[in-house]
Amino acid sequence: MSTRGAEIPQTVSAPADDIDRRIILATQGGLPLVADPWNEVASKVGVPVDELLVRVEAMLDRGLIRRIGAVPNHYAIGYTANGMSVWDIADEAIDAVGEWLGALDAVTHCYRRPRRLPDWPYNLFAMVHGRSRDAVRQQLDDIAALLHGRFPGACRSHDVLFSSAILKKTGLRIGTSD
């Protein structure tokens, strides 16, 4: 599933419905691994299972749920090189470059973020996963060359930060401290 090429809505604020919130609390730690998991979730939330299924579908339609399923540990499935590529792109070109970079097959996430000068000059972040660091570096060299050809002068510098350890990966946990 991907949203590549589609117009991606930015933040939309809708008030948190109490039942939706209870669905988040009941499932943020994961779905129960039983034959009828939605029934178990429905009991926790306190609604009939048919209503729960309609609710969850509506949450998917609104994008409050991006998807339902498995989140792999990328190391365990062979993607041992996890590179966060970062680029210092001229402000006037950032959206054009971002759209272009995000549309490349190698890129799994692509965001514009603020610079933190003088510590951090980069305003475009793109994740590239690969089976080796050399493979990721090679891909990024190719991308940099293409970028310079297509947007001359737009990219002032770039770097890649490889991860050397996953320190935590639990995902969202609301309702625990606030």
The rounded distance, in Å, linking the Cα atoms of 46 and 22 is 9
| Burial profile 76-90: b = 16 or more Cβ within 10 angstroms, e = fewer | eeebbbbbebbbbbe
Please report how close the Cβ of residue 49 comes to other proteins at its closest, in angstroms.
7
Q: Which is nearer to other proteins, 152 or 169 (CB)?
A: 169
Chain center to CA of 103: 14
Closest CB to other proteins among residues 152, 177: 177
Contacts of 139 (CB under 8 A, 6+ apart): 106, 128, 130
At closest approach, how far in Å is the CB of 81 from other proteins? 12
Report, in Å, the least distance between residue 103 CB and other proteins: 7
Smaller CB separation from other proteins, 119 or 153: 119
Shortest approach of other proteins to residue 16 CB, angstroms? Answer: 4
Q: Residues 95-99: contacts with CB within 8 Å, 24+ apart?
A: 96/151, 97/124, 97/147, 97/151, 97/154, 97/155, 98/124
Nearer to other proteins, 148 or 162 (CB): 162
Residues paired with residue 88 on neighbouring β-strands, in sequence order: 157
